[in-house]
């Protein structure tokens, strides 16, 4: 945005953090813009119409719906977290507000979270050490709130060997450490 101000990752770096432990790859997400979208009271129908027109999916509970440019996952009744490419959607909140009108409350959430994409052949064993989600049985696209090493996170299953984790940005180092420690214990 402003040339004078250089963005810093949650780890105080310029480039996203990438870690490889055995078969597991951990990649920090810095190219995703996030915003929350919540229906105003009694305005769900309006929001649904506007969202459909804007190409914004509003999936049901425990679900992540991919899309272009907007993907989203359910976080609470009539509330979603929306993802979009950061480069084109840094102003995601303004863009969604314009698209959705006054039937929704929109709040920028991009820097409230640190995101990690985890990939391996199979993430089940890692998830067993990290959280109480039954990862093996969860369908692809399963999105849920859970706790990893005392930190409240969102976990999105993208396949048997792929998952996205959003945790509190200020605790990025603690969250990564928890994932790394579990991975080392399993490697």
Partner 1 sequence: MTQSHRISGGQVDRTKTVRFTFDGIPYQGHPGDTLASALLANGVRLMGRSFKYHRPRGPISSGSEEPNALVELRTGGRQEPNTRATVVELFEGLDARSQNRWPSLRFDAMGINDRFSTFFAAGFYYKTFMWPKSFWEKIYEPIIRRAAGLGSVTRQEDPDEYDKGFLHCDLLVIGAGPAGLMAALTAGRAGKRVILADEDFRLGGRLNAETHAVGQASGADWAVAAVAELAAMPNVRLMTRTTVMGAFDHGIYGAVERVSDHLPVPAKGKPRQVLWRIYAGKAILAGGATERPIAFENNDRPGVMLAGALRAYANRWGVKAGERVAVFTNNDDGLRTATDLMARGVDVVAVIDSREGGELIPGVRHLRGAEVIDSSGKLGLKTITVRQSNGKTEDIRVDALGVSGGWNPNVNVHSHHRSRPVYDAGIAAFVPGEDGPPGLSVTGAAAGVLSTHGALRTGRDAAMAALGLTGAAPDLPEAEDAPVRVSPLWFVHHGKGRAWIDQQNDVTVKDVKLAHKENFTSVEHLKRYTTLGMATDQGKTGNVLGLAVMAELTGRSIPETGTTIYRPPYTPVAMGTLAGRSRGKEFKPFRLTPSHHWAKEQGAVFVEVGNWLRTQWVPKAGETEWRQSVDREVLATRKSVGICDVTTLGKIDIQGTDAGEFLNRVYANTFSTLAVGKCRYGLMLREDGIVFDDGTTARMGENEYVMTTTTANAVTVFRHLEFCRQVLWPEMDVQLISTTEAWAQFSVAGPNARKLLEKVVDQDISDASFPYMGAANITVCGGLRARLFRISFSGELAYEIAVPTRYGDALLREMLARGAEFDPIVYGTEALGVMRIEKGHVAGGELNGQSTALNMGLGKMVSKKKDSIGMVLSQREGMVQEDGYRLVGVKPVDPKAALTAGSHFLEKGAAAVAANDGGWLTSKVYSPHLGCDIALGYLKGGDKKIGQRMRIVNLLAGLDTEVEIISPHMFDPEGERLRG
User: Minimum distance between the CB of residue 125 and partner 1, rounded to whole angstroms?
Assistant: 9
Query: Considering the rule CB under 8 A, would residue 132 count as an interface residue with partner 1?
Result: yes
Other beta carbons less than 10 A from residue 61's beta carbon: 11
User: How many C-beta atoms surround the C-beta of residue 163 within 10 A?
Assistant: 23
In 30-78, where do the E strands start and end? 32-39, 64-65, 71-76
At residue 25's C-alpha, the angle toward residues 22 and 27, to 5°, is: 155
Cβ closest to partner 1, residue 156 vs residue 172: 172
Rounded CA-CA distance 46/8 in Å is 38
Q: Smallest distance, Å, CB 86 to partner 1? A: 10
Minimum distance from residue 67 beta carbon to partner 1 (Å): 21
| Backbone dihedral region for residue 141 (phi beyond 0: left; psi -120 to 50: alpha; all else: beta) | left
Phi, psi for residue 121 in degrees, rounded to 5: -65, -40
Considering only residues 158 to 187 of the shown chain, the ones binding partner 1 according to CB under 8 A are 168-175, 177-178, 181-182, 184-185, 187
From residue 19, how far is each of 23, 27, 118 by CA, in Å? 11, 7, 10
- With contact defined as beta carbons under 8 Å apart, do 51 and 39 qualify? no
Q: Which is nearer to partner 1, 27 or 40 (CB)?
A: 40
Minimum CB distance to partner 1 smaller for 2 or for 87? 2
Residue with tokens 């409230």: 112
Site membership for partner 1, residue 40 (CB under 8 A): yes
Among 18, 52, 88, 111, binds partner 1 (CB under 8 A): 111
Residue 87 in contact with partner 1, rule: CB under 8 A: no
Q: Smallest gap, in angstroms, from Cβ of residue 2 to partner 1?
A: 4
Q: For residue 71, state whether it binds partner 1 (rule: CB under 8 A).
A: no
Residues at the site binding partner 1, with contacts judged by CB under 8 A: 1-10, 12, 30, 36, 38, 40-42, 79, 91, 102, 105, 107-113, 128-129, 131-134, 136-137, 149-151, 168-175, 177-178, 181-182, 184-185, 187
């Amino acid at each position: 945005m402003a040339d004078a101000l250089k963005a810093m990752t949650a780890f105080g770096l310029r480039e996203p953090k990438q870690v490889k432990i055995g078969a597991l790859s951990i990649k920090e997400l810095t190219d995703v813009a996030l915003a929350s979208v919540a229906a105003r009271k009694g305005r769900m129908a309006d929001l649904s119409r506007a969202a459909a027109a804007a190409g914004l999916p509003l999936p049901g509970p425990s679900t992540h719906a991919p899309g272009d440019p907007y993907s989203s996952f359910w976080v609470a009744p009539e509330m979603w977290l929306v993802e979009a490419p950061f480069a084109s959607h840094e102003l995601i909140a303004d863009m969604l507000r314009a698209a959705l009108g006054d039937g929704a409350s929109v709040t920028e959430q991009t820097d409230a979270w640190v995101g990690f994409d985890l990939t391996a052949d199979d993430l089940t064993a890692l998830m067993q050490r990290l959280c109480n989600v039954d990862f093996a049985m969860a369908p692809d696209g399963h999105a849920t709130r859970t706790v990893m090493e005392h930190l409240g996170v969102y976990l999105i299953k993208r396949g048997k060997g792929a998952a996205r984790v959003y945790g509190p940005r200020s605790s990025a180092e603690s969250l990564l450490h928890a994932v790394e420690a579990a991975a080392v214990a399993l490697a």
